[in-house]
Amino acid sequence: MSKVKVGINGYGTIGKRVAAAVSKQEDMEISGVTKTRPTFEAQTALDMGFDLYVPEGSLKAFGSAGMPVKGTIKDLYKAAEIIVDCTPGDVGETYKAEYEAAGIKAIFQGGEDHSLTGISFNSTANYSESWGAQFSRVVSCNTTGLLRTLFPIDRKIKVTNVYATLVRRAADPGDSKSGPINGLEPIVKLPTHHGPDVKSVMPWLNINTMAIKASTTLMHLHTVTAELQKESSTEEILEIMRASPRVKLIKSGSGLKGTAEIMELGKDLGRDRSDMYEVVVWEDGVKAVGRMLYYYQAVHQESDVVPENVDCIRSMCKLEEDACASVSKTNKALGIVR
Ligand code: NAD
């Protein structure tokens, strides 16, 4: 079987993880990645065996740094069948006209607006909506985490209202430029954009969100309060979560008290870069009381969208019609086991 050729535009936090994840699949391969400057990440990409494509204006800098380049970013459009655009937020949209002109498919990330593509993607909730599409957008890390738990609960027991507070990591671990160093910053423009982002996939859901930036780099933590259409029980909710893809139930009592221990678990599981692809829910912190449901979940911002990008490639390139089958293939290749 010939493999679908995937190009990565923007080999940063998300791009390098998607490149590694694609390389592990049987039905797709990396045809090249882009870098704008000859940094250590560009060298690592070469060391991993990826071909480098760079902006025309950067060819000289890569030459001076002694880093072999396969071509310009526009040359990558000829070598690949689909681009996963992992450039910083709002930069992706500047590439859309180029992808359109080259007639190539492209996946954008959560830093772009839903209106850029008109389709936003989540593997469990709407895999088939991106079937054969030229453009789609994998929603942000927080939205992916919320959809992973809310969609299966809504499918079994209708959810009438959701109020969620997102305690957000201030910066990624490798980012030395941004974030509060010692403090908490509320996002005062309410409700925050996260609720509407969830609605880009579940338009019928009443959800409102608040957010606080915290001086941590490890993970985000959500507190979710959901009003259900009918009374439920904690055990019924846990059963739904246990059966949901990429939801990992943990117990605080087992020592997994917070995000630090969850990242340690990622290391112990031998995951690439100690990534935790699943949304992590504290089983002993789930509580259903009548029609009200309360739970906490943690989101590894650097990696939870990675398997969704792989599934989105399968849907857009018509590699696998069945969402569950794609999720299983991706999970197996990435070592996501229950
Ligand atoms: P990043 O800054 O770590 O990586 C972006 C990469 O794009 C870098 O390698 C940078 O050199 C490159 N780049 C910058 N300008 C470019 C240009 N004009 N052309 C080509 N490449 C360019 O960013 P990231 O965290 O990986 O975020 C990428 C996207 O993923 C954003 O839309 C972001 O919102 C989304 N996202 C990020 C996270 C996260 O927590 N890091 C989580 C989910 C989704």
Q: Which atom of ligand 1 is nearest to the CA of 141?
A: 43
In the reported structure, the alpha carbon of residue 170 is separated from the centroid of ligand 1 by a whole-number distance in angstroms of: 16
Task: Give the closest residue to 82 by CA, choosing from 66, 68, 103, 64.
Answer: 103
In the reported structure, the alpha carbon of residue 92 is separated from the centroid of ligand 1 by a whole-number distance in angstroms of: 9
CA distance 311 to 131: 11
Q: What are the structural domains of the chain?
A: 4-139+305-334 (3.40.50.720), 141-299 (3.30.360.10)
Give Cα 311 distance to the centre of its chain: 11
Q: Which atom of ligand 1 is nearest to the CA of 169?
A: 40
CA distance 215 to 217: 7
**Total residues found in the chain within this entry:** 338
In the reported structure, the alpha carbon of residue 13 is separated from the centroid of ligand 1 by a whole-number distance in angstroms of: 6
CA distance 191 to 197: 12
| Two structure tokens written together for 14 | 């998300």
Residues whose beta carbon lies within 6 Å of some atom of ligand 1: 9-15, 34, 36, 86-89, 91, 109-111, 140-141, 172, 301-302, 305
Whose Cα sits closest to atom 43 in ligand 1? 141
Amino acid 241: pLDDT: 98
For 251, which DSSP code?
-
Measured at the alpha carbon of residue 233, what is the angle toward residues 231 and 237, in degrees to the nearest 5? 105
Amino acid 329: pLDDT: 98
Sequential DSSP letters for 38-105: --HHHHHHHHTTPPEEE-GGGHHHHHHTT----EEHHHHHHH-SEEEE-SSTTTHHHHHHHHHHHT-E
CA distance 40 to 333: 27
Contact 121, 133 (CB under 8 A): no
Q: Measuring CA to CA, how many Å separate 197 from each of 210, 236, 289, 306, 325?
A: 13, 27, 28, 18, 26
Q: Please provide residue 105's backbone torsions phi and psi, each rounded to the nearest 5 degrees.
A: -75, 155
| pLDDT by residue, tens only, the chain of 338 residues | 799 999 999 999 999 999 999 999 999 999 999 999 999 999 999 999 999 999 999 999 999 999 999 999 999 999 999 999 999 999 999 999 999 999 999 999 999 999 999 999 999 999 999 999 999 999 999 999 999 999 999 999 999 999 999 999 999 999 988 878 889 999 999 999 999 999 999 999 999 999 999 999 999 999 999 999 999 999 999 999 999 999 999 999 999 999 999 999 999 999 999 999 999 999 999 999 999 999 999 999 999 999 999 999 999 999 999 999 999 999 999 999 87
Task: Give the closest residue to 115 by CA, choosing from 141, 93, 97.
Answer: 93
This prediction's pTM: 0.97
Q: Hey, which residues does 136 pair with through a beta bridge?
A: 107
For 139, which DSSP code?
P
Q: Among 109, 121, 193, which is best to mutate for testing ligand 1, by the most ligand atoms less than 8 A from CB?
A: 109
Active site residues: 141
State the burial class of residue 322 (Cβ atoms within 10 Å of its Cβ: 0-12, 13-18, 19+). Answer: exposed
In the reported structure, the alpha carbon of residue 277 is separated from the centroid of ligand 1 by a whole-number distance in angstroms of: 18
Q: Please provide residue 212's backbone torsions phi and psi, each rounded to the nearest 5 degrees.
A: -135, 130
